[in-house]
Structure 1
Amino acid sequence: MFAATGFFMDGDTYWKDTVCLLPAHDHQIDAQGFLTSSTPHFKWHYSPRDISFETALEDYVALLTTIVKDQVGACAVILPLSGGLDSRSQAMVLKDLDNPVHAFSYHFKQGYPEHHIAKQIAAVCGFSFESFEIPKGYLWDCIDDLAQINQCLSEFTHPRQMAVLPELKQMPGVFSLGHWGDVLFDKGAPEGTPEDAIIPLLMKKMLKPGGLAFANALWQAWGLAGDFKSYFISRIAASLSAIQIDNVSAKIRAFKTSQWAHRWTTTNLSVFEAANPITLPYYDNRMCEFICTIPEAYLADRRLQIAHLQQHKPLSHITWQANRPYNLNNYEWNRTPYNLPFRIANKLQRLIQGAVGKPYIQRNFELQFLGDYNDRQLKSYLFDDTFFEFIPQDLISKFYKLFQQEDVVQYSHPVSMLLTMALWHKHFKD
């Protein structure tokens, strides 16, 4: 499962006798360190109130404000800003508090300058601001530290904050992190999705490119009974059966939160926590309870967040990265034929960049795995003789060659997972 998706499900870990404690549960652990019972104190449900959108918006703004104020207290606040809506929504609240706020953003070398959007948001809100460029190959200088921080429970190319961890440690205050707002405040599935489409939809969302082929190869190499795909489906079905919600969109959101948020997103929050204390307004129990009571139509398409931000014209006029070059007041125009001039210009820019030897960087792995230096570092971990005790050498060679010679996008995930497993084997197998 870990190989196919990039995260463990439920309480799984590398070990048979070690589990990850489930969130929103009360746990009993005996003197020998064995888990004896886990009792949930929160269950996802869908109990929409009969309220207007305007009332839902008022309740959302009031709740987000209360949670942010409660979480940060009187502390200085460190706010990672992106070109999206979650951190911008936090900025909308924080600008009216008395706390000093220092915002920062980062961007890939030769990638989209996301920090330009963040800088505008910070300026409108009156925050101090700094930006960081994520350099090529930064991972190899900190990969052993990252393995200790996240325990190899998530692959290594996503937590960009590792590249600037020393700088983050110098910032005074507590982090206010916007993780998971994009899932809570959007539809879980398109309207009209039938019940029998849930598992195929989740499989499509969970499986990374090359993930199914990689998991199948491991399954066969280790001589496991049955087949991986059937096992994968059975695990999803078992987890879904515990969610007593009839609405398909709400049910999928609950599944994603109990799996993705718990075992993928949360894992790398430990990197921020290695620098300073963290706060998470969208993880707050009050926010989860609120989501359970809001009609799906109000959550879909980020309606509440957009309406909130539209109350402040300067913030809403700043580009929305997911719909660039449009903003929160005209993003509906991001469709053919209206967006064709931007798409053509953007394509030409990327082609020109590539032609002069500076390819456009869009994905995390491109900074870490491409190029001679990165390749040497990668091979030093993948082809360490001791790693062959865990993963067969011919399987490693197969997926490394597919990545190098066939399709770097399709096979970057298996290579990244092999690297993660190699670090786990190096640091934790004993």
Structure 2
Amino acid sequence: MHTVNTPILPIRQQFANVVAPNELDKKAICIFAATGFFLDTDTYWKNKKVLTPASKHTCNADDYLVENTPYFKWHYTPRNISFQTALDEFTDLFEQIITEQTNNRKVILPLSGGLDSRSQAVALHHTKAEVQSYSYAFKNGYKEHSISKQIAKQCGFPFEQYTIPSGYLWDVLEEVATINKCYSEFTHARQMAVLPQLKEMEGVFSLGHWGDVLFDRGVAAVDEDQPEVTIVLKKIVKKGGMELATALWKQWNLEGTFESYLKNRIQKLLDKIEIENTSAKIRAFKSLYWAPRWTSINLSIFEAAHPITLPYYDNRMCEFICTLPETFLADRKLQIAYIQNRNPKVAKIMWQDQRPYHLYNYHKNKAPANLPYRIQNKLVRELKALVGKPYIQRNWELQFLGMDNDEQLQSYLFNAMFNTLVSKPLVAKFYNAFKNTDAVTYSHAVSMLLTLSVWYDNEYKKREL
């Protein structure tokens, strides 16, 4: 026997065998197709499961799961403290975690125009860490690195900027499949485009993943009165995902309907979370089932270059969150106050989600004050489109659009072996909808079919060996 203790927010998946048929879990794959991640302990196989977060697992010599005992449960136990006290506690904890995780090593900091990496930049600057920072932007997209560069300059960090090119995916597709084991669709992992450059850097990554979930509302104010299962579905099911999953469900002749199955699965998971406050409960749900099975998957790509650290993944940060009033967490209040307090000049740099405003005046980002910027921004996009430079917002636009990309895409989607799992007519239906009807709505479906094709081809090769 051996034991495995999993973190509250696992950085990587750990597997165990269970007594079940050695066959594809097609119901689990349907959920994967709808959401882009496997739910709870699901994998591609019925007899293999992922170990649950925040638990002590006992496995036998053959890696069969024998016992599972949770050591932490998400809760909402807000303390009667002032916002200033919460800010002071967050400051001390955040900087302590970052100091411990980096441990006097050189730090590689991916910077964005948001708040999570900005918070890390402020903390690393305050603790006098040696930092190499970088950022990237899509070709013909928003120049995100223009904000990141300003943050780096203010903190005195060396900075590199990269551009994510069109069509890079096809040269690295097999490599990323090997790294993330096809547990996430490939177009989210834009860091693969600069992996060789990242490998040339020195140090340990400090990654800001999950800060935006822990330090914000669990539920938007307009959704607070909705049923919890409705809120979750709205958050996790991608555009076109329900349609793809339903089509697969029917093709595989699975019992009942996919939508009812998914709702029942989600409701059972929600029922296990003993939290009354809706916002805190949804945050807990996302931390239990989204963070480890979606956000964490592509951390392995960073880890392929250098060791990784994640301050917001630290157990102490999760425990701290459970004790704070929701009003302190809503709308990024704590992170904003931290940055303002520690480095006011960084706080005055534009916040990408609220552009052209910064952390002191983002409240003005509403009509009519923001209309001049929005009109100007729209005109610039339209003019670029007229000269053949359409504005790029998403990675799939660079990887799927255009003749060369389309040829590569079709070679995977209309693969004879893959079409024994997912029929050619079903693939053609979603491919044609992507090409001719609504690329935005059906991009997720096409990306999931691509992922399944690569995974199935690799599994077939393993069986042949």
TM-score when normalising by structure 2: 0.91
Do 1:3 and 1:414's aligned partners in 2 also have CA atoms closer than 8 Å? yes
Q: Does residue 397 of structure 1 match 2:428?
A: yes
For residue 156 of structure 1, what is the aligned residue in structure 2? Answer: 186
Do 1:87 and 1:178's aligned partners in 2 also have CA atoms closer than 8 Å? yes
How big is each residue's C-alpha offset from its partner over 1:386-413, in whole Å with a ceiling of 9 and x where there is no partner? 1111111110011000000100001000
User: How many angstroms apart in 2 are the aligned matches of 1:196 and 1:350?
Assistant: 36
User: How many angstroms apart in 2 are the aligned matches of 1:191 and 1:391?
Assistant: 40
User: How many angstroms apart in 1 are the aligned matches of 2:111 and 2:272?
Assistant: 35
Give me the CA root mean square deviation. 1.0
Matched position secondary structure for 1:10: coil
How big is each residue's C-alpha offset from its partner over 1:146-186, in whole Å with a ceiling of 9 and x where there is no partner? 00000000000001100000111111100000000000000
Q: Show the 5 A alignment for 1:50-69.
A: 50-69=80-99
Once the 2 structures are TM-superposed, how far is the Cα of residue 242 of structure 1 from its aligned partner? Answer: 1.2
Q: Which of 174, 184, 190 is matched with 1:144 structurally?
A: 174
Q: Which of 445, 458, 461 is matched with 1:414 structurally?
A: 445
Do 1:191 and 1:249's aligned partners in 2 also have CA atoms closer than 8 Å? no
Once the 2 structures are TM-superposed, how far is the Cα of residue 195 of structure 1 from its aligned partner? Answer: 6.7
Matched position secondary structure for 2:220: coil
Q: Show the 5 A alignment for 1:15-414.
A: 15-191=45-221, 197-311=227-341, 312-414=343-445
Once the 2 structures are TM-superposed, how far is the Cα of residue 236 of structure 1 from its aligned partner? Answer: 0.6
User: How many angstroms apart in 1 are the aligned matches of 2:234 and 2:78?
Assistant: 28
How big is each residue's C-alpha offset from its partner over 1:366-395, in whole Å with a ceiling of 9 and x where there is no partner? 011000000000001011111111111110
User: How many angstroms apart in 2 are the aligned matches of 1:63 and 1:294?
Assistant: 14
Matched position secondary structure for 1:74: coil
Q: 1:344 to 1:297 in 2, by over 3 A?
A: same
Once the 2 structures are TM-superposed, how far is the Cα of residue 364 of structure 1 from its aligned partner? Answer: 1.4
Matched position secondary structure for 2:49: coil
State the one-letter code of the partner of 1:393.
Answer: K
State the one-letter code of the partner of 2:258.
Answer: F
Once the 2 structures are TM-superposed, how far is the Cα of residue 201 of structure 1 from its aligned partner? Answer: 1.2
Matched position secondary structure for 1:157: helix
Q: Which runs of 5+ in 2 are unaligned?
A: 1-30
Instruction: Provide runs of 4+ in structure 1 moved above 6 Å.
Output: none
Once the 2 structures are TM-superposed, how far is the Cα of residue 98 of structure 1 from its aligned partner? Answer: 3.5
Once the 2 structures are TM-superposed, how far is the Cα of residue 428 of structure 1 from its aligned partner? Answer: 2.3
User: How many angstroms apart in 1 are the aligned matches of 2:224 and 2:377?
Assistant: 37
Do 2:109 and 2:206's aligned partners in 1 also have CA atoms closer than 8 Å? yes
User: How many angstroms apart in 2 are the aligned matches of 1:114 and 1:196?
Assistant: 35
Do 1:193 and 1:248's aligned partners in 2 also have CA atoms closer than 8 Å? no
How big is each residue's C-alpha offset from its partner over 1:34-88, in whole Å with a ceiling of 9 and x where there is no partner? 1112211111000000000010011011110000001110110000000000000
Do 1:361 and 1:367's aligned partners in 2 also have CA atoms closer than 8 Å? yes
User: How many angstroms apart in 1 are the aligned matches of 2:445 and 2:220?
Assistant: 29
Greater shift, 183-192 or 131-140, is seen at: 183-192
Q: 1:192 to 1:405 in 2, by over 3 A?
A: closer
User: How many angstroms apart in 1 are the aligned matches of 2:276 and 2:376?
Assistant: 45
Matched position secondary structure for 2:187: coil
State the one-letter code of the partner of 1:317.
Answer: K
Once the 2 structures are TM-superposed, how far is the Cα of residue 99 of structure 1 from its aligned partner? Answer: 2.5
Identity between Structure 1 and Structure 2 (%): 57
Matched position secondary structure for 1:19: strand
State the one-letter code of the partner of 1:155.
Answer: E
User: How many angstroms apart in 2 are the aligned matches of 1:380 and 1:192?
Assistant: 44
Once the 2 structures are TM-superposed, how far is the Cα of residue 18 of structure 1 from its aligned partner? Answer: 1.0
Matched position secondary structure for 2:48: coil
State the one-letter code of the partner of 2:414.
Answer: F
How big is each residue's C-alpha offset from its partner over 1:112-141, in whole Å with a ceiling of 9 and x where there is no partner? 000010000001001111011000010000
User: How many angstroms apart in 2 are the aligned matches of 1:251 and 1:157?
Assistant: 30
User: How many angstroms apart in 1 are the aligned matches of 2:107 and 2:226?
Assistant: 45
Once the 2 structures are TM-superposed, how far is the Cα of residue 196 of structure 1 from its aligned partner? Answer: 5.6
Do 2:224 and 2:279's aligned partners in 1 also have CA atoms closer than 8 Å? no
Q: 1:196 to 1:353 in 2, by over 3 A?
A: closer
Q: Which runs of 5+ in 1 are unaligned?
A: none
Once the 2 structures are TM-superposed, how far is the Cα of residue 194 of structure 1 from its aligned partner? Answer: 5.3
Do 2:247 and 2:426's aligned partners in 1 also have CA atoms closer than 8 Å? yes
Once the 2 structures are TM-superposed, how far is the Cα of residue 191 of structure 1 from its aligned partner? Answer: 4.5
Do 1:181 and 1:282's aligned partners in 2 also have CA atoms closer than 8 Å? yes
Greater shift, 60-69 or 32-41, is seen at: 32-41
Do 2:223 and 2:231's aligned partners in 1 also have CA atoms closer than 8 Å? no
User: How many angstroms apart in 2 are the aligned matches of 1:187 and 1:37?
Assistant: 34
TM-score when normalising by structure 1: 0.99
User: How many angstroms apart in 1 are the aligned matches of 2:123 and 2:224?
Assistant: 38
Q: 1:353 to 1:249 in 2, by over 3 A?
A: same
Q: Which of 18, 33, 53 is matched with 1:3 structurally?
A: 33
State the one-letter code of the partner of 2:358.
Answer: N
Once the 2 structures are TM-superposed, how far is the Cα of residue 238 of structure 1 from its aligned partner? Answer: 1.1
User: How many angstroms apart in 2 are the aligned matches of 1:256 and 1:158?
Assistant: 18
